[in-house]
Amino acid sequence: MKKILVYDTTLRDGSQGENISFSLEDKLHIVKKLDDLGLDYIEGGWPGSNSKDVAFYSRAQELKLKHAKLAAFGSTRHPRHTASHDRNLQALIEANTPVVTIFGKTWDLHVKVALGISLKENLDLIGESVAFLKSQGKEVIYDAEHFFDGFKADSAYALATLKAAEEAGADTIVLCDTNGGTVTADIRERFQAASKHLKTPLGIHTHNDCEMAVANSIAAVQQGAVHVQGTINGYGERCGNANLCSVIPNLELKLGMHSIGKENLKRLTEVSHYVSELANLLPRQDLPYVGKSAFAHKGGIHVSAVMKETSAYEHVDPAVVGNERRVLVSELSGKSNVIYKAEERGLKIDKSSPDAKVVVEKLKEMEHDGYQFEGAEASFEILFDKLVHHTKEFFELDGFRVITEKKGVNEPYSEAVIKLRVDGKEEHTAAEGVGPVSALDRALRKSLTTFFPCIRDIRLTDYKVRVLNPKGATDAKVRVLIETSDGHDTWGTVGVSENLIEASWQALVDSITYKLKKEYG
């Protein structure tokens, strides 16, 4: 089985993505996570460019990596400096990593315009920089920046730059689609030309400006690349880099090649979510393999088929990448969705009974009115129990009143008064909050705590409002999605109304009812 070396540049190239900024501690944590995943190389940053990366490489010496080699990144020497006196190259040596990756100019346009030197001088920069780093005992990876654009402009010169790196002793030469604008057919053709010209192992580094980064990486491997660079979740400048969370399973599961191994592959989804958490970004649900929606089924026909044979609508078993199958309930649902969802959540239903049809029809009616249960599975479960098992309410509302008052320049003041009954016993409670929904939530929980002490354990962790018909202006219908946690479990509930407070009330009641259902059945 052919081995493909995986090189991660999340902490350098990935951090150049908009809205991404890793702290020093974040970077150290991510290195350990990527090492556990079984990656071969982890690029930590550019020590010649900023103090944080200098500090990172100093702290990284304390890490006990089990598999990965740490790489420092930089450029070829400055045209006015010799290699041995170049500050950037010295910073790479001082980073004290076993691997150094440097990039050099391959496109004659960049040599003439960006560097302002002759083509011959650029070849000298490449050769002397690689040779110097090799003389310092480093494994040297040479990134041929803009190779594919450079080859298109002047193929002979682009190949000459690669030859300069090879003759100087580069261990791996990586062909870079730096602008991300090369289509797959051209990647194949130009990669093949380079491989015929060189004996050094070749790698690939692609960007996603044409949504082809993963496809181009795979195409390069099929042409002989043994080294693939990319980032977790495809983070990176502009449209991002090749997403290793797609590249790796494609290598393992589609091409039958070895990268991190089948056992490590099971941790891929976990690592994807971990890195997005430290990047302070919501995980993209639509990512292949690791996204929450990657194995989500909504259409009734799809679900019916998947229940009989998962391969009918799944190209791989979600478990092999650490993900899971999800069945959604919506206006597109059929009986199969409801049965699957009920069984998944441990709800009892007779498959031959008409109850499933009743639930489907009610779901379609409610979704037509604006309800959405994809992020509110607790509300689905409560609805299911009411329709199928005719469960009784834990409490009954007599009424509530919410007042918001603002005086002068002071902050608005909100108070909610609520009257409800539990087993015939009346409770009348008031509570204040930072807003009307906050006040209502506090009043509801305060009134129920006397009867159900477990209410003290829950808290709202997220609150979202979606306007369903913007043309309705202030009379528009809204959907409120609430996320609630008791410290152990988290669940979502939904409410819909033209009145924001009423929609919020519906979601709040479901959130508490779900907790009571868990505790008292």
With 80 as the cut, is the pLDDT of residue 501 above it? yes
Exposure on the CB side of residue 91, measured as CA atoms within 13 A: 24
57: β partners: none
Q: How confident is the model at residue 200 (pLDDT cuts 50, 70, 90)?
A: very high
Both tokens of residue 269? Answer: 């989804």
Could you tell me the pTM of the whole model? 0.72
| Of the candidate ranges 167-181, 305-319, 471-485, the one whose mean pLDDT is the lowest | 305-319
Q: Give phi and psi for 130, each to the nearest 5.
A: -65, -45
Query: Which ranges in 223-308 belong to alpha helices (H)?
Result: 244-249, 262-265, 268-278, 300-308
With 50 as the cut, is the pLDDT of residue 439 above it? yes
CB atoms within 10 A of CB 296: 18
**Angstrom distance (rounded) from CA 175 to CA 220:** 9
With 60 as the cut, is the pLDDT of residue 303 above it? no
pLDDT digits (tens, 9 = 90+) for 132-159: 999 999 999 999 999 999 999 999 999 9
Query: Which ranges in 309-433 belong to alpha helices (H)?
Result: 335-344, 355-368, 377-384
With 60 as the cut, is the pLDDT of residue 437 above it? yes
With 90 as the cut, is the pLDDT of residue 91 above it? yes
- Smallest CA-to-CA distance from 437 within 409, 467, 400, 466 is with 400
- Smallest CA-to-CA distance from 423 within 445, 401, 400, 452 is with 452
CB atoms within 10 A of CB 122: 24
Cβ contact 431:416 at 8 Å: yes
With 50 as the cut, is the pLDDT of residue 251 above it? yes
DSSP state of 207: B
Average of per-residue pLDDT values in the chain: 89
Domains and CATH numbers, the chain: 5-278 (3.20.20.70), 296-358 (no CATH), 369-394+454-521 (3.30.160.340), 400-451 (3.30.160)
With 50 as the cut, is the pLDDT of residue 39 above it? yes
pLDDT digits (tens, 9 = 90+) for 354-386: 767 777 777 777 777 888 776 788 888 888 788
What order of strands is seen across the sheet that includes strand 396-405?
Answer: 396-405, 413-422, 425-433
Q: Give phi and psi for 39, each to the nearest 5.
A: -70, 155
pLDDT for residue 444:
93
**Angstrom distance (rounded) from CA 34 to CA 8:** 8
With 80 as the cut, is the pLDDT of residue 203 above it? yes
Q: How confident is the model at residue 332 (pLDDT cuts 50, 70, 90)?
A: very low
**Angstrom distance (rounded) from CA 164 to CA 519:** 71
* Averaged pLDDT for residues 83-94: 94
**Angstrom distance (rounded) from CA 122 to CA 119:** 5
Q: How confident is the model at residue 403 (pLDDT cuts 50, 70, 90)?
A: very high
More confident residue, 167 or 292: 167
The residue ranges of DSSP E strands in 191-256, in sequence order, are 202-206, 227-230
DSSP state of 258: B
With 90 as the cut, is the pLDDT of residue 57 above it? yes
